């Protein structure tokens, strides 16, 4: 799930604009993920040293380690949530190179053969991904530069068959 912007701060601001009004509700779950009490009236503050020392990632949610890691980087509570730590899929918040690096890491480790990209806002997010991330992947030799054929059928290697009878 991507928010591609020129830097981390602009990407976070964009995500805050898109969903910031739901953050107070998410604090409840974030609390459970990292095992400490969080105050919805202190969204503009980073977590205190005491809080971070007490925090422990929950064993029951695999996203908890990442959430705590982001919290320890010193982001404010609002910014921690803007990183998409509770989103259902890995979130990219920043310049295109971060998406390329993440995808490369997972691909080369054999964790995935590919990815579904889900842009935050389709009307400009898809273009941002295509313009900023795809060229980097192509340059690194990870993504094809051209299609094999002219039609979707050719790209997928699907034979010409209309129905059950393979002669047709």
Interface pick for other proteins out of 7, 18, 35, 40 (rule CB under 8 A): 18
* Segment holding 22, helix H or strand E: none
DSSP string, 49-70: HHHHHH----TT-TTHHHHHHH
Q: Does residue 157 belong to the site contacting other proteins (CB under 8 A)?
A: yes
Window 51-90: contact mask with other proteins (x via CB under 8 A): ----------------------------------------
Q: How far is the CB of 56 from other proteins (least distance, A)?
A: 29
Instruction: Return the closest-CA partner of residue 105 out of 81, 139, 140.
Output: 140
Of 37-45, 61-69, 72-80, 143-151, the segment contacting other proteins by CB under 8 A is: 143-151
Pick the closer one to other proteins by CB: 60 or 88.
88
Choose the stretch contacting other proteins; rule: CB under 8 A; options: 49-57, 73-81, 136-144, 160-168. Answer: 136-144
CB 125 within 8 A of CB 93: no
Question: How near is the Cβ of 37 to other proteins at its closest, in Å?
Answer: 26
CB atoms within 10 A of CB 86: 19
Minimum CB distance to other proteins smaller for 37 or for 123: 123
Interface with other proteins (CB under 8 A): 1, 15, 17-19, 21-22, 103, 107, 113-127, 130, 134, 137, 142-144, 147-148, 152, 155-157
């Amino acid at each position: 799930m991507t928010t591609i912007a020129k830097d981390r701060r602009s990407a976070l601001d964009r995500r805050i604009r898109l969903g910031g009004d739901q953050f107070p509700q998410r604090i409840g779950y974030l609390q459970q993920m990292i095992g400490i009490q969080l105050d919805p009236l202190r969204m503009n503050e980073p977590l205190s040293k005491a809080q971070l020392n007490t925090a422990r990632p929950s064993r029951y949610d695999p996203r908890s380690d990442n959430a705590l890691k982001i919290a320890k980087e010193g982001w404010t509570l609002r910014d921690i949530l803007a990183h998409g730590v509770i989103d259902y899929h890995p979130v990219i918040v920043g310049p295109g190179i971060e998406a390329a690096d993440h995808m490369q890491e997972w691909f080369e480790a054999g964790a995935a053969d590919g990815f579904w990209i889900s842009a935050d806002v389709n009307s400009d997010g898809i273009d941002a991904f295509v313009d900023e991330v795809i060229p980097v992947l192509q340059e690194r030799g990870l993504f094809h530069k051209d299609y094999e054929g002219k039609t979707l059928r050719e790209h997928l290697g699907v034979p010409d068959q209309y129905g059950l009878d393979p002669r047709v």
